[in-house]
């Protein structure tokens, strides 16, 4: 077994014990994350991420985060309630399993902390805005930046309960907007800025929504709100 390196853990660009463990284990993961501090990054850090050609997601600037009591208990220098240094969270996705050392070469070029392997992209993507973490400041998903074709839909599937939730919301959307044609529904969902998941659910449940829309159309014909197949408007 190799001996432990003399250099201790410390927040610097030298190799720390964590680096050593990761390198020795030859950890390989397809998806990675790291913190990016704009004040210490190169001016062209965004362009450098672009030219990698890798799908990347970048959080809004986290400039409202504060240290928690738990953070203070772990490190007395992180006083609870005091602001954290402004930072971004970055997700970078490779074509195949990639070693810690390879990803670290990227974070080193950007003068940033070491990368962390991701078990799931979705969980980290939610954390870009602190979604589901009500004790933290909530950032706007519209401020997430994506590069090189990154799409969260490529890295996760909706759960059954989420599909049911979106189906209900689409039905309410149909009802509230008087939609009776599937094509109209899909156009409206496609044009909406914040309904990507709704569009996916509607696309994958065509039969359900076509039948639902037919029922809505028939009810509108009977009520004299729309013409029938012959163009006759009922009374």
DSSP label of 199? H
pLDDT in tens, 81-130: 999 999 999 999 999 899 999 999 999 999 999 999 998 899 999 999 99
Judged against a pLDDT cut of 50, whether residue 151 lies above it is answered with yes
Q: Is the pLDDT of residue 234 over 70?
A: no
Answer yes or no: are the C-beta atoms of 7 and 15 closer than 8 Å: yes
pLDDT of residue 220: 76
Q: For the full predicted model, state whether its pTM sits above 0.85.
A: no
The tens digit of pLDDT for each residue in 177-206 reads: 989 899 999 999 988 877 888 998 999 999
pLDDT at 6: 36
Considering only residues 21 and 37, tell me which one the structure prediction assigns the higher pLDDT.
Answer: 37
Given a contact cutoff of 8 angstroms between Cβ atoms, the answer to whether 49 and 26 are in contact is no
- Average pLDDT rounded to a whole number, residues 4-26: 48
What pLDDT does 15 receive?
Answer: 45
Does residue 62 contact residue 87 with C-beta atoms inside 8 Å?
yes
pLDDT of residue 126: 94
More confident residue, 11 or 152: 152
Assign 3-class secondary structure to 176-197.
Answer: HHCCCCHHHHHHHHHHCCCCHH
What pLDDT, on a 0 to 100 scale, did the predictor assign at position 229? 61
Is residue 170 within 8 Å of 202, Cβ to Cβ? yes
Fold of 17-154: Replication Protein E1; Chain: A, (3.40.1310)
């Amino acid at each position: 077994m190799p001996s432990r390196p003399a250099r201790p853990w410390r927040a610097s660009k030298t190799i720390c014990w964590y680096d050593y463990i990761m390198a020795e284990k030859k950890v390989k993961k397809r998806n990675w994350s790291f913190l990016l501090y704009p004040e210490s990054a190169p001016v062209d850090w965004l362009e450098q991420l672009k030219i990698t050609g890798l799908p990347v997601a970048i959080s809004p600037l986290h400039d409202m985060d504060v240290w928690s009591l738990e953070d203070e208990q772990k490190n007395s220098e992180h006083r609870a309630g005091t602001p954290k240094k402004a930072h971004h969270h970055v997700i970078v996705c490779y074509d195949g399993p990639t070693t810690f050392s390879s990803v670290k070469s990227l974070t080193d070029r950007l003068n940033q902390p070491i990368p962390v392997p991701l078990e799931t992209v979705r969980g980290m993507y939610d954390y870009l805005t602190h979604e589901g973490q009500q004790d933290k400041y909530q950032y706007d998903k519209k401020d997430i930046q994506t590069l090189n074709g990154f799409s969260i839909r490529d890295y996760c599937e909706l759960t059954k309960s989420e599909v049911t939730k979106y189906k209900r919301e689409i039905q309410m959307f149909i009802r509230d907007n008087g939609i009776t044609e599937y094509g109209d529904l899909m156009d409206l969902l496609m044009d909406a800025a914040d309904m990507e998941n709704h569009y996916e659910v509607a696309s994958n449940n065509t039969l359900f929504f076509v039948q639902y829309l037919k029922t809505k159309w028939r009810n509108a014909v009977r009520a004299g709100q729309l013409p029938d197949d012959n163009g006759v408007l009922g009374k």
